[in-house]
Amino acid sequence: MIYVGIDIAKDKHDCFITNSDGEVLHNPFSISNNREGFNDLYNRICSTTEDLTNVKIGLEAIGHYSYNLLGFLIDKGLATFVINPLHTDLYRKSLSLRQTKTDKVDARMIASMLMSDVNLKSYSDTSYHNEELNSLTRYRFDKVKERSKLKTSVSRLVLILFPELEKLVPTLHMTSVYALLSEFPCASKVASAHLTRLSNLLKTASKGHYSKDTAILFREAARTSIGSNMPAKSLELKHTIKLIQELDTEIKEIEAEIKTIMDEINSPILSIPEINYRMGAMIIAEIGDFSRFDSPDKILAYAGLSPSTYQSGQLDNCYSHMEKQGSRYLRYALFNATKYVCIWDSSFNTYLAKKRSEGKHYNVAVSHAAKKLVRVIYQLEKTGQTYIKDA
């Protein structure tokens, strides 16, 4: 076997090539992070063997710096292993207590790690192309989080400019309310607005839900409002609403692209009650290639949903907490999806109730149900079956 260790960096990558006999085939060398450098690496690998199925390549998972090289190696049909930096760090410490770390040493160490056969799973073509879905779901997550912060700002500003409005509507974050505040961003402006203009604005924005009576109600509340007349805050409110509306458009565009990819994947995860395209896509994107995991417990560990274990001598930790060292995106998606599944599926609802009856806090009970959900998802993805909801 031929083993290639690659230490990834922004502008260059350090490589080391050896064989199963420990013979150094290529001393540590650097390649540029461009097409010429990639071809140089490939040619050096080809010079060591005629059978590329005997080649194993290892590199650390350090985000976007490795993405292009990873795609190049997979397209060449080379077995490539993406290794968690935590694993390489632990392996480095197991070899020596000395804190010796250079790029060339790391490349040699990664090759040695491959040779030790530490039960690594090669990075598949499925995993590589799953990156697109992963990128979209994380991008959406960040956009939604950004929008939530802006909505909090709107609530704060309305409390200053027109506090009575909040009690007159189901929520401030409605199209009709945003339309009102965009044109009349404080109580004094609403109070002096022409009734016909105010009525037409609300009727159009609410699609007929709000009538002239609502416009009168809003205007009367504004005339007795304790809201401050602060032009700077009014301008901030208008701009904040505009940003939220722009984010709404962007999020819808992202979600449409996510739906297109999910339709192509045709994952059975969508057959589980209340797991929609958005949540299902995030779970699928974060897990990636299910063949990387030998059991659902490995996925639980990857998500950081496994309980930590501490035992030393007579001391045994009976109140272990979740590790929370895995993918926070996956943990978020599983936890929130579980809440909805527990409402609409009787078997999950019963399981949650059982855990609650044992005295467990709601969130702890949900985490147990999330583990059950992971096992269900794992089985569906492995078999291709659809979920059969209990009556």
SS (H, E, C) 194-258: CHHHHHHHHHHHCCCCCCHHHHHHHHHHHHCCCCCCCHHHHHHHHHHHHHHHHHHHHHHHHHHHH
Phi, psi at 96, each rounded to 5°: -160, 145
pLDDT tens track for 210-230 = 999 999 999 999 999 999 999
- SS3 call for 304: coil
- Which tokens sit at 202? 């609300």
Higher pLDDT, 165 or 100: 165
The predicted model scores a pTM of 0.74
Strands 24-32 and 55-60: unpaired
Q: What share of the chain is helix, strand, coil (3-state, %, to 5)?
A: 60, 10, 30
Higher pLDDT, 113 or 145: 145
Query: Which of 306, 387, 377 has the alpha carbon at shortest distance from 346?
Result: 387
> Does position 388 have pLDDT exceeding 60, yes or no?
yes
CA distance 13 to 15: 6
In the block, tokens 């230490």 appear at 7
pLDDT tens track for 78-133 = 888 888 776 666 666 666 555 555 657 888 888 888 887 666 666 665 666 678 89
Q: How confident is the model at residue 59 (pLDDT cuts 50, 70, 90)?
A: confident
> Does position 323 have pLDDT exceeding 70, yes or no?
no
The predicted model gives 185-192 an average pLDDT of 96
> Does position 248 have pLDDT exceeding 90, yes or no?
yes
286 in Cβ contact with 333 (< 8 Å): yes
Higher pLDDT, 273 or 310: 273
In the block, tokens 């909805």 appear at 340
Phi, psi at 315, each rounded to 5°: -90, 125
**Overall size of the chain counted in residues:** 391
Under the phi-then-psi rule, with left for phi > 0, alpha for psi from -120 to 50, and beta for the rest, what region is 295?
beta
Give the best-scoring range by mean pLDDT among 17-26, 44-53, 140-149, 273-282.
140-149
- Rounded to a whole number of angstroms, the distance between the first and last alpha carbons of the chain is 54
19 in Cβ contact with 115 (< 8 Å): no
The b/e string for 314-349 (b: 16+ C-beta within 10 A; e otherwise) is eeeeeeeebbeebbebbbbbbbebbbbbbeebeebe
Query: Which of 215, 347, 221 has the alpha carbon at shortest distance from 273?
Result: 347
The b/e string for 104-132 (b: 16+ C-beta within 10 A; e otherwise) is bbbbbbbbbbbbeeeebebbbeebbebee
User: What local confidence, expressed as pLDDT, does residue 350 receive?
Assistant: 93
pLDDT tens track for 178-188 = 999 999 999 99
Listed as own residue / partner, the contacts of 264-271 with beta carbons closer than 8 Å and 24 or more positions apart are: 265/133, 267/381, 268/380, 268/381, 268/384, 268/385, 268/386, 268/387, 269/377, 269/380, 269/381, 271/380, 271/386, 271/387
72 in Cβ contact with 59 (< 8 Å): no
* pLDDT, averaged across the chain: 87
CA separation, residue 356 to residues 123, 165, 339, 351, 359 (Å): 40, 39, 14, 9, 5
Q: How confident is the model at residue 284 (pLDDT cuts 50, 70, 90)?
A: very high
CA distance 143 to 244: 10
User: What local confidence, expressed as pLDDT, does residue 315 receive?
Assistant: 43
Q: How confident is the model at residue 389 (pLDDT cuts 50, 70, 90)?
A: confident
CA distance 195 to 193: 6
